[in-house]
Amino acid sequence: MDKEMNIKTPDGSPHRGGDALRAEGVCLFDKIWSAHVVQNVEDGPTQLYIDRLYCHEVTTPQAFDTLRDKKISVFRPEQVVAMPDHNTPSDQQERIDDPVGRKQVETLAKNCAEFGIRHFAMGTKDNGIIHVVGPEKALSLPGMTIVCGDSHTSTHGAVGAIAMGIGTSEVAQVLASQTILQSKPKTMRINIEGTLAEGVTAKDVALYIMAQMTTSGATGYAVEYSGSTVRNMSMEGRLTLSNLSIEMGSRAGLIAPDETTFEYLKGREYAPKGEEWDKAVEKWKMLYSDPDAVFDKEVTYYAEDIAPRITYGTNPGAGIAIDECIPTLEEVNEADRTQFLSMLDYMQFKPGQKLEGTPVDYCFLGACTNGRIEDFRAFASVVKGKKKAPNVVAWLVPGSWLVRQQIIDEGIDKILEEAGFELRLPSCSSCLAMNPDKVPAGKLSISTSNRNFVGRQGPGARTILASPLVVAASAVTGVISRPPLPVGHLPLYGETSGMSSSTDNSDKTE
Amino acid sequence: MALPIEGEMPNGQRGYSIMKQKFNIIQSTCLPIRIDNCNTDLIIPARYLASTTRDPQFFGDAFMHDLRFDAEGKPVADFVMNKAEYSEAPRQGVHEIIIGGQNWGSGSSREHAAWAIAGYGVRVVISSSFADIHRNNLLNCFVLPVIVSEKFQQELFDTIEADPQAEVRVDLPAQTVTNLATGHSEYFDINNYKKYCLMNALDDIDFLLESKEKIEEFEKETHPVPPCEGGY
């Protein structure tokens, strides 16, 4: 706890005191962590205070039952926010036909009513995917500790918070005590430097990093993303990057808050207002890794090495640049060959095969990875004035009702409609097979979601992960395609200038 | 194929303490699941998550479902759990230990994967590495994750695949795992707090509930909740 007290300042003067937020030589993760330590259990984990708990319908029913069995209430209900997202259909939200999924959604509503928790019900304007809704309503703020029974909680780290996925037993612990027992992870800084080429997005950056460091390369670490490429990314791009941290094994992916963060959050529904806002920003400006901060591991990647990417296997790290071929057997380590061949067998691909030009059956734009307004702008910029390929089934699913409204306000829905695409209703949709948007067995899907696991989009479904630009290009050609250059006139990732982040923006960005 | 409907819980128990059991020494034959990066979607497919209880039977039956069964529900003959020598469900001394591939339990945070492992009857998972969230979930379900060296992991796979009757002994008090066929042994790490919890069937939640005063003091003295709209 007192680690910061002993740290010398760079000029050798005595340290100012125990305020963790003003400590020198400390990384961002450690600043936020130490400010939330209730106690360190002797020869055990840390009891960490949690500012925000999010609940969805899939991983919480048993947690609420734990409270019932123990006859206790929710300790700090005002710090808990709940919404269903996994089971919600994207074609209509009047009803859920599947009785099992319906029961989960109804159970969440019932639990929230009984325990006094704010609940954004299915089909209402506040609803959407938790990891899209949290940041866009400023329910997730810099400096917070945030948990949810969902591994993609890492998304919220993009605002400069410690945000981690947890299990259902841990959800019960937070409901009961607003704290959690966790061992402190090691820290890793991933620097990405330089300017991304046109058509290369935050999604490609994340897929590139995963391919470099494998899906377990960051296991045991909390990652901080840094470097000029990240600084120049829009908030939406940063949320995509942090979202995919767990696919490298890291539970948390933090980005130090800056003007882009403050601009994004200001004026949003639950952001501090007036004087409180100014005070908050002053505090948030202290949330960065000190220049002399030391990480357990540090790696640097360069934007110039990153091209639009696709995956070819059944884990997100099995990826290539879109114009590359799948590795040949000889290019794969001998120890990894069995798994490599088994992945290709499932995907119905061959070693050394080039995938660009391969026909696709399904295209999915959405999920907590790429279901935000910029993703729809990017998709629309490619399909504008073109037509959806007849062989393709396309699901375009906004991450929240707020995103959907903004799509309509900006006239993007018209562009999509003219190109033969239908804008659907907010849902996790085809990211995982828990609602009607399932990819049939054997069909090939190109998807902006986060996992290409065996059966992830439906039993037997084959998934290729890619950016909204690649999915859009593939949706109009009907085959795996790189984004056409130059990419339209709509603002893309990284182009923050002139792009309003306010949610009532009705300017047409064309 | 229609999903089975989960059963009612015995004795009106809904969520808490179904998996609770004291852990000491486990000596058993093993189930070798030689799959690297075995993610929690494989351990339990998403369609089995649409549940509102922790019915061990329901989740145990769903364990590794899509590798065990084909689309028609027929057992996949060459999957390890369907081979005669490994197909017997775990009971004391039999198949209570899984030897898993590296990066066991990656991907989704679903605790249902740990419920499936516990529900099937497994008490220990041994691997050279675990995903962080799944490892915590196993501990919270009173299943012991044991991290061994890659070399020892390979030795265990080789021993068990050569002789499915070979036994492994996991001694939590001594923090050792022993391949009884070769006599080779490795020490494994676990913090004393969690070790005590497992040996005495204690939950984290009880510890946290007992610390309410500390939490309230922390909220008051160290971390006042800012007066923003929405409670934060």
Structure tokens at A55: 């609940």
Higher pLDDT: A11 or A142? It is A142
* Cβ contact, residue pair A100, B3, below 8 Å: yes
At B164, list the tokens. 């499915």
Question: What value does the mean pLDDT of chain B take?
Answer: 90
| H/E run at residue A37 | strand A37-40
CA distance A193 to A303: 6
- Taking the C-alpha atoms of residue A419 and residue A263, their distance in angstroms, rounded to an integer, is 33
- Work out the pLDDT band at A302, boundaries 50, 70, 90: very high
- Does B179 reach chain A within 8 Å, measured CB to CB? no
Q: Check residue A402 and give its pLDDT.
A: 98
Q: How far apart are CA A18 and CA A238, in angstroms?
A: 31
C-alpha A19/C-alpha A315 separation (Å) is: 42
**B153–chain A Cβ distance below 8 A for any pair:** no
User: For residue A492, what pLDDT is reported?
Assistant: 40
Residue in A169, A239, A166, A167 with CA at minimum distance from that of residue A203:
A239
Alpha carbons A70 and A62: distance in angstroms, whole number? 12
Please state, rounded to an integer, the average pLDDT across all residues of chain A: 91
CB–CB contact A51 B50 (8 Å): no
* Residues A156/A138, Cβ–Cβ less than 8 Å: no
- Report the residue of B69, B133, B206, B214 to disrupt the A interface, i.e. the one with the largest count of A CBs within 10 Å: B133
Beta strand A145-148 pairing with A162-165: parallel
Instruction: Output the pLDDT for position B20.
Output: 84
How buried is A106 (Cβ within 10 angstroms: 0-12 exposed, 13-18 middle, 19+ buried)?
A: middle
CB-based contact A387:A151 (threshold 8 Å)? no
Structure tokens, A154: 């890492």
Strand partners, A364: A395, A447
pLDDT (0 to 100) of residue A437: 96
Using the beta-carbon criterion (under 8 Å), do B107 and A246 form an inter-chain contact? yes
Where are the strands (E) in A110-216, listed by range? 118-119, 145-148, 162-165, 179-182, 186-193
- A61 closest CB neighbour out of B52, B223, B230: B52
Of the candidates B105, B87, B84, B102, the residue with the CA atom closest to the CA atom of residue B156: B102
- Give me the sign of the Cα torsion angle A307, A132, A399, A382: negative
Q: Is the pLDDT of residue A21 over 60?
A: no
Measured between alpha carbons, how far is A23 from B186 in angstroms, rounded to an integer? Answer: 41
Average pLDDT of the segment spanning A121-129: 97
Contact B66 A454 (CB under 8 A): yes
Chain A residue with minimum CA distance to B133: A166
DSSP per position, A346-373: HHT--TT-B-TT-B-SEEEE-HHHH-SH
Q: Is the pLDDT of residue A341 over 50?
A: yes
Per-residue confidence (pLDDT) for residue A509, from 0 to 100 = 35
Q: Counting Cβ atoms within 10 Å, is residue A299 exposed (0-12), middle (13-18) or buried (19+)?
A: middle
Q: For the beta carbon of residue A497, count every other beta carbon within 10 angstroms.
A: 7
CA A435/CA B20 separation, integer angstroms? 32
Provide the H-helix boundaries in A48-98: 61-70
Rounded Cα distance between A146 and A250, Å, is 15
Q: Is A158 helix (H, G, I), strand (E, B) or coil?
A: helix
Is the Cβ pair B228, A271 closer than 8 Å? Answer: yes
ipTM score assigned to the predicted complex: 0.92
Tokens of B134: 């799944």
More confident residue, B5 or A277: A277
Q: What is the pLDDT of residue B151?
A: 98
Q: Is residue A116 predicted with pLDDT exceeding 60?
A: yes
Task: Look at residue A421 and tell me whether its pLDDT is greater than 90.
Answer: yes
Please, are residues B194 and B138 in contact by the beta-carbon 8 Å criterion? no
**pLDDT above 50 (res A508):** no
Asked if pLDDT for residue A8 goes beyond 60, the answer is no
Asked if residue A361 lies in contact with residue A466, where contact means CB atoms within 8 angstroms, the answer is no
**Contact predicate B114/A167, CB 8 Å:** yes
- Report whether A376 contacts A491 (CB < 8 A): no
List Cα–Cα distances, A127 to A81, A213, A400, A428, B232, in angstroms. 11, 35, 6, 11, 20
Judge whether residue A457 has pLDDT over 50: yes
Interface residue B203 vs chain A (CB under 8 A): yes
Mutation site, B110, B139, B205, interface A, largest A CB count within 10 A: B205
Interatomic CA distance for residues A167 and B145, integer angstroms: 15
- Give, as one character, the DSSP assignment of residue B220: I
Which helix or strand (DSSP H or E) is residue A337 part of? helix A337-347
Whether the CB-CB separation of A426 and A129 falls below 8 Å is answered with yes
Rounded mean pLDDT, A232-260 = 97
Measured from the Cβ of residue B219, the count of other Cβ atoms closer than 10 Å reads 15
What's the pLDDT score for residue A18? Answer: 42
Find the DSSP H helices in chain B: 40-43, 56-62, 65-68, 112-120, 132-140, 150-162, 192-200, 204-210, 212-217
Contact predicate A311/A347, CB 8 Å: no
Model confidence pLDDT, tens digit, residues B31-87: 999 999 999 999 999 989 988 988 999 999 999 999 999 989 999 999 999 999 999
- In Å, what is the CA distance from A436 to each residue of A61, A396, B40? 21, 14, 21
Strand partners, A42: none
DSSP string for B42-102: HHS-GGGG--SS--HHHHHHHTTHHHHB-TTS-B-TTSGGGSTTT-SPPBTTBS-EEEE-S
Please state the rounded mean pLDDT for residues B137-147. Answer: 97
Residue B226 is predicted with a pLDDT of 56
d(CA A483, CA A472): 8
Phi and psi dihedrals of A354, rounded to 5? -90, 130
**Cβ of B16 and A66 within 8 Å?**
yes
Residue A488: pLDDT band with limits 50, 70, 90: low
Q: Which of A158, A179, A178, A169 lies closest to A117, judged by CA?
A: A178
What phi-psi label fits residue A43: left (phi over 0), alpha (psi between -120 and 50 degrees) or beta? left
Task: Compute the radius of gyration of chain B from its Cα atoms.
Answer: 19
CA distance B84 to A168: 35
DSSP-assigned states of every residue in A442-477: T-EEEESSS---TTTTSTT-EEEE--HHHHHHHHHH
Q: Is-contact A192 A158, C-beta < 8 A? A: no
Query: Would the pLDDT of A328 be above 90?
Result: yes
B86 and B79 Cβ atoms separated by less than 8 Å = no
- CA-based R_g, chain A, Å: 22
Dump strand ranges (E) for A297-420.
Answer: 297-302, 309-311, 319-321, 362-365, 393-396
Chain A residues touching B38 at Cβ < 8 A: none
Closest CA to A116 of A164, A79, A153: A79
* Separation CA A363–CA A419 (nearest Å): 14
Q: How confident is the model at residue B224 (pLDDT cuts 50, 70, 90)?
A: confident
Lowest-pLDDT range of A139-143, A398-402, B203-207, B221-225: B221-225
CA of B8 to nearest chain A CA: how many angstroms apart?
13
Helix (H) or strand (E) holding A378: helix A373-383
List the single residue in B with minimal CA-CA distance to A101.
Answer: B50
Confidence of residue A265 (pLDDT cuts 50, 70, 90): very high
Cβ contact (<8 Å) for B14 and A219? no
